[in-house]
Chain A
Amino acid sequence: MPVVDVDPDELRDLVGTTKDDDELREDLFALGLEFEGWTEDDEFQLEFAPDRLDRLSVEGIARSLRYQYGTDRGVYIPNTNDAEWTIEVDGPPAERPYVTGAVVRGLDFDAESLESLIQVQEKLHATMGRQRAKGAIGVHDLVALKGTAGTAGEKSIRYTAMDPDEETFVPLESDEELTPREVTERHHMGSDYADLVADLDSYPAIYDDLGLFSFPPVINGRRTEVSEQSRDLLIEMTGTDQWTIDHMCSIVCYALSARGGQVERVNVEYTDDTPGEYAGHTLDRPDFSVKTKTVAHDRIESIIGVEFDTETVVDCAERAGLDATESTNDDGQTVYEVEIPPYRVDVLHPLDVIDDIGRAYGFNDLEPRYPDVSTVGGRHERSRLEDAVRDSLVGLGFEDLLNFHMISEAENFDRLDVSPGDDYLGGGEPVTIREPYSEAYEILRTWALPSLLLVLENNTHREYPQHLSEIGLAAHLDDSQNTGVEEYQTVAGVLAETDVSYEDARARLQALAGAFGADLETPPTEHPAFISGRTAEVVLDGEPAGVIGEIHPKVLVEHDLELPVAAFEFRLDALQ
C-alpha cells in the first residue's frame, strides 16, 4: 500500500482545526488513512488505499477532513481563467502520443508546500502513472518559458519528438549539457526511466522558443526548475492515455488551488497528422467537468442495510464532497442524480457513490446482523479422503508435515538421481516459474519425497526416530489438461531410524491400504533413488500408484543422513 508523509501542523493549518495529533490520527483512520509511524522530520507517515489518489498530498487529505468535519460541503470546482497558452502536439512518438496541462499562477511556496508538490508528483507517478509508463508529470517555472515555439500564436510550446543523439540540454541536477541518450545512460536520475524510451527511435520532447526544456518521461531541463521563488507554474503531463493524464492533472491542480494558486486553462492542439485519437482536435484543459451518476435509493438501503430518509442521503453525499439531487425515475422509484468532482478517479459505478455515502454515515456504527438464509455446509470428497488418510498415517505414528510446493530443480531431481522426462516416479516434466524468487523455488515439485528428505536433512540434530509423512500437491506438465498441468495429491512417508528396513515401510503401507479396503501389491521395480532389490511398485486395486523401498545410500549421503531411510509415495486417489 502506498505511503504519504504529512506534517500534522500543515494539516491543521489547511483544515483550520486545533485538534491534537492523536485526535487527528483517529479521524484519519476513520477516513481510511492508517498511521504507520513518525518520519525523521516528525511527520505522520500514512498508509492510504490507492483508490483515493486525491489524498496523495496534505492538501487533499485536508480537503477530506474538512468534508468530514462539515466545514466544506458539496462539490467544489476551482475557478479557472481563460487560456493564454497552447500546447501544440506535433508528432511525438506514437507510443506516447498524449499530453495535457495547466497553468497555475500566484503561488507562494515555502519549503513544506514545495515538498508537498514534489511528493504528489512522485506518488501519482507510482500509482496512476504506473511508474511513469502511463503518465509522466513535468512542472515548470513559467517565468523561464518563452512562447511562440509553435505555429499556434503568441504563447505556445510544442510536444514533439527528438533525435536521441542530436539534441542537447542541461537536465535537472546537472551542470553538463547532455544529449537525451547520454542522459539515459549517465545521469543519476535519467537512468531510472531509461527503459521507458529505450526501444523508441525518437524520444518525446517539449520545446519552447528557447529550445528543449523537457524530456518526458525521463527528466526536465534545469532551465525551468521550480523553486520556492516560483510564482507561476506550467504543468504538463504526457503519456499513453489521455483520460489518465487529464485526471492526474486535475489532482495536481486541486492541490495547488488549495494553496491559493489560480488555475488557468491551456489549449491542447493536436495537429492533423499527429499520432493518437485526437488528431485534428483541440482540447480545453484542465478538464474540471463534473461526472453524474444515477443512484437508486433502494440500492443504497440494500447495500448499507439501514433505512434512510432522503435528507440523510443528500447530507451524506455533501459530506463526501459530492452533490446529490433527489429525483424519480421512469419506474417511479426514488433516485439521486449525484455530481462527482474530477479528482474522484475511483468512481466508476453508482456503487462507488454508495460506498461514499456509507462512509459519511459511518460504517463502523452499523449493527451487525446475521443473514437470514440457511445453507448446508460440507467438505468435498477429496478433502475428506485426505483427512482420513492423514488420520491413518498419524495413527501409524507418522509426524504430518506441510512442505513448500515450490522447490529447486536440483532438490527435486538431481539430488535423488532423477531427471525430468524419466519414466520413474518423480520424473515428470515440471511446471517452471519465470524469474523465480530464488533458485530454491524455481519449479513446482513433481513428487513429495525430495521435500521429506530436505526436512530430514535440516533436522539431523533432532531426536530419532523421525517418521515423517506428507499429503500435498505434486504437479507435472500434461498437454491433455486445459491448463497444461496435471495437479494431484500425493501421499509420501519416510522412516528414518536405526535398523529400519523395507519391511517397516511395507508394514505401514499394508496397514494404510487395509484401512481403506484397497488391495495392495508390491511387484519389484527399479528406481534410481532406491536400493536395487529393495524397491517395489505400489499397486493399489490393480493400478500402479507409486513406489516403496529403501533409499539409496548415495542419496542419504547427499542429504547428510547417517542412518537408513525406508520410504514410500503414491497418489492419494488410488485409495478412493
Chain B
Amino acid sequence: MQLPEAQVAVLKTADSNADRPITEIADEAELKPETATRAAFELEDDGLLSVTERTDTSVELTDEADEYLESGLPELRLYEAALEAGADEEPVPLGKLLGQAGLDGPAVDIALANFARKGYGEVDSGDVSAAPDASADADEELLALESIAAGEPVDDENLLDQLDRRGLVERSDSTIRLVQVTGDGVTALMEGVEAAETVDRLTPELITSGEWESVEFTEYNVEAEAEKPPQGKEHILRQTANRVKDVLVGMGFKEMEGPHVDAQFWINDCLFMPQDHPARTHWDQFDLESPDKIKYLPEDLVANVRSAHLEGVGEDGEGYHSPWEEAVAKSLDLRGHTTSLSMRHLSGHATGDLEPPERYFSVEKVYRNDTLDPTHLLEFFQIEGWVLAEDLSARDLMGTFTEFYEQFGITDLDFKPHYNPYTEPSFELFGTHPETGEVVEVGNSGIFRDEVCRPLGVEADVMAWGLSLERLLMLMYGFEDIRDVHGTLCDLELLRDVEVVY
C-alpha cells in the first residue's frame, strides 16, 4: 500500500497494543506535531489507526519557585536565621534576622506572611520568636516543589491550590491525543506500507497522469504575508465623482461640458452679479493675463444681460446701481464655478435650445483665488445640478436634493434661508453626518432669479444646487489634509491605502 510519507511514519511508529500520545509519536518520527496529527486523522478515516483524547492537567513551576528551590523558601531562611540567633529561647529583632537571612524587598513580606502560618514561630512588635520543634526539612510545600521539579506527580489538590495562590506553580489543562494501531492497520503493515513522494508544484503532468492521487503536497506556510503585486487604482476623488455621477444620472440628469477658461459674461454677468461685486475681484477669481478677452459673445444675449443689470427684468424689476461694461464681460477668467456651463446650456449656446423638463449636472474643476491650506485648494471639483421645469417650488428643490443626499447616507436635511446674487429664494443645506452625527453644511441651492432666466430666453423655472466634491469626500472619509489627496502634493501611500468607494 502506498501512503503519504507522514502517514507511513505515524503508522510505523505507533503501537498496536497501547495508546500513545501523538506528540510522542511526532517526536520519534521527526514530524511536526500538526503534520503528525493530520496524518493520524487521515489514518483514522481509513480505519488504520484509532484516535482518542484525554485531558491532562500539567503542573509547572514558576520562575519564583525555581528561585526558592535554589536559595530556599523565604520563611525557611528566616526560621534558620532565627534559630541560629537563639530566637527559640529569646525573641530577636526582625531587622537583625533579615540581614542574616539575606532577605530584602518583597521577600520580607513573603517570609513574614508564611512564617507564622506554617508554625515556624511568631512575630510580635518587630521581634521574632522561633518555634523550637518545627521541622523545616519536612516542609510540605518545599517537598511538593521538589517533586514537581523532578517530574513526579503531586496528588494533594489543596497543596497545589496553596502553591498556586503563592504564585509558585502554574496549572494547565491540555488535551492529549492518543493513537493506537488498529487490527486493519497491523494487517496493512504486515502486507507492506510504502511512503509516496511529496510534491511542491502541482504540474499538468501530475494532473493528467493521475499521479496526483498518490502524492503528498509539501506544506506551505499559508499564514505568511505574500509580496503585494503592483496594483492599479482609480483616484479616490474620481471614484467619488463617479459615484456622484451615477446617482445623478440615475435621477435623470445629463452631463454638461464646457471650457475652463471662460468670459466673465458666462461666469458672472449672466448670473446677475453686478460688475463691481466684491466676489468678482481678483481676490476671489483668477483673472487671466493672456489671453485677455473672449472674441465673440452672442450680441442679443449681451444686450439682454446688460439691460437686466441696468434696468432689471419685468414690470417691477430694478437693476443695480453699478456700471456695466462689455469689456469687463468679455475679459477671460478661470471659471470660479461651473454655473458658467449652466448658463451656456440654458441660453441654448451649448447643446441647442432647451425645452422643459430638463435636468443637467456637472462634476468638474473650478478655480478660486482663495487659499491653499489643509481644507482649501486653489482648484477643486464642484458638483452642480439644475432642473428646468414648469412651476418649480422650494418644495421641489428640497425633495430633489433630499433624495440625492440620502444616497450618501446624509439625512435629516435642514434648509436654511440664505442669499446668492443669482437665486431667490436660496437655501444652505445642512445635513447629519453619517458617521459622527454632526450637523454640517452640505451644499448651497436656490431657484434662479428672473433676471438670470429671462435674458437667456428661459421662461420656465430653474432650480439649482451645488457642493464641492472634496467637501463630500472629507465628510465621507475625514481626511485631515486635502492636499495629501488632490494635486501634485499628494501622498502616494495615502492614495494607495484608502478604501474603495462604492
Residues of A within 8 A of B (CB): 29, 32, 34, 49-52, 127, 130, 133-134, 241, 243-244, 293-294, 302-306, 346, 348-352, 354-355, 358-359, 363-364, 366-371, 373-380, 382-383, 387, 390-391, 393-407, 429, 431-437, 441, 444, 451, 454-455, 458-459, 462-463, 465-468, 473, 475, 477, 482-485, 487
Contact = CB atoms under 8 A, between A and B. Distances in A.
B261 A355 contact: no
B78 to A, nearest CB: 62
Contact of A305 (B235, B278, B396, B418): B396
Given A130-B276, A402-B487, 4 more contacts: A377-B248, A402-B490, A437-B378, A458-B489
A397 B232 contact: yes
B369 interface: yes
A364 B414 contact: yes
Interface in B30-45: none
Given A370-B403, A398-B232, A459 B291 contact: no
Contacts of B426: 355
Given A382-B257, A400-B234, A402-B487, A462 B282 contact: no
A462 B289 CA distance: 38
B252 interface: yes
Contact of A437 (B257, B369, B403, B425): B369
A371 B396 contact: yes
Contact of A379 (B245, B367, B394): B245
A348 B317 contact: yes
Contacts of A373: 356-357, 387, 389
B398 interface: yes
A549 B115 CA distance: 87
Given A49-B418, A431-B288, A484-B295, A369 B395 contact: yes
Q: Which of B255, B276, B316 has the most CB of A within 10 A?
A: B316
Interface of B is mostly: mixed
Contact of A455 (B231, B450, B488): B488
Interface in B309-333: 312-322, 332
B247 to A, nearest CB: 10
B166 interface: no
A254 B103 CA distance: 91
Contacts of B278: 127, 130
Nearest to A430: B290
Interface stretch (B15-23, B150-158, B492-500): B492-500
Interface string B269-283: 000000010100010
Q: Which of B242, B378, B418 has the most CB of A within 10 A?
A: B378
Contact of B261 (A351, A462, A468, A483): A483
A373 B462 CA distance: 13
B243 interface: no
A363 B415 contact: yes
B456 interface: no
B287 to A, nearest CB: 5
- Counting from the closest, the 5 A-B pairs by CB-CB distance are A305-B393, A484-B291, A305-B395, A49-B419, A368-B398
Contacts of B379: 404-406
B492 A399 contact: yes
Contacts of A376: 252, 254
B253 A377 contact: yes
B316 A482 contact: no
Contacts of B389: 371, 373
Contacts of A462: 491-493
A431 B254 contact: no
A398 B393 CA distance: 47
Contacts of B253: 375, 377
B352 interface: no
A366 B397 CA distance: 11
Contacts of B295: 482-484
A436 B296 CA distance: 26
Given A400-B233, A433-B334, A485 B372 contact: no
B260 A487 contact: yes
B487 A403 contact: yes
Contacts of B316: 293-294, 349-350
B70 interface: no
A454 B488 CA distance: 6
Interface of B: 230-235, 237-238, 242, 245, 248-257, 259-263, 276, 278, 282, 286-296, 312-322, 332, 334, 356-359, 365, 367, 369, 372, 378-379, 387, 389, 391-396, 398-400, 402-403, 414-419, 424-427, 447, 449-451, 461, 485-493, 495-496
B154 to A, nearest CB: 57
A435 B334 CA distance: 13
A376 B254 CA distance: 7
A323 to B, nearest CB: 16
Nearest to B241: A402
A406 B332 contact: no
A221 B154 CA distance: 106
A432 B290 contact: yes
Contacts of A400: 232-235, 238
Contact of A359 (B260, B357, B378, B417): B417
Contacts of A455: 488, 490, 492
Given A364-B416, A377-B250, A304 B394 contact: yes
Given A405-B260, A432-B288, A390 B378 contact: no
Contact of B321 (A241, A354, A394, A441): A241
Contact of A374 (B290, B357, B424): B357
Contact of B332 (A293, A346, A483): A483
Given A32-B417, A369-B395, A473-B260, A390 B234 contact: yes
Contacts of A451: 488
A51 B276 contact: no
Contact of B287 (A34, A354, A368, A435): A435
Contacts of B250: 377
A29 B441 CA distance: 13
Q: Which of B263, B392, B398 has the most CB of A within 10 A?
A: B398
A451 B418 CA distance: 39
A184 B261 CA distance: 39
Contacts of A32: 416-419
A371 B447 CA distance: 14
Given A348-B318, A377-B248, A431-B261, A401 B235 contact: yes
A444 B261 contact: yes
23 contacts: A32-B416, A49-B418, A127-B278, A133-B276, A293-B316, A294-B315, A302-B391, A351-B424, A351-B449, A358-B425, A371-B357, A375-B252, A377-B359, A379-B245, A397-B231, A401-B495, A402-B485, A406-B367, A432-B288, A455-B490, A455-B492, A458-B490, A473-B260
A429 B493 CA distance: 35
A495 to B, nearest CB: 10
Contacts of B287: 433-435
Contact of B238 (A243, A294, A390): A390
B290 A477 contact: yes
Contacts of A127: 278
A273 B227 CA distance: 88
B400 A370 contact: yes
A133 to B, nearest CB: 8
Contact of B416 (A29, A366, A397, A466): A29
A573 B186 CA distance: 78
B291 A485 contact: yes
A133 B321 CA distance: 13
Given A368-B402, A467-B232, A377 B260 contact: no
Nearest to A398: B232
A349 B450 contact: yes
Contact of A378 (B249, B487, B491): B249
A419 to B, nearest CB: 16
Nearest to A391: B234
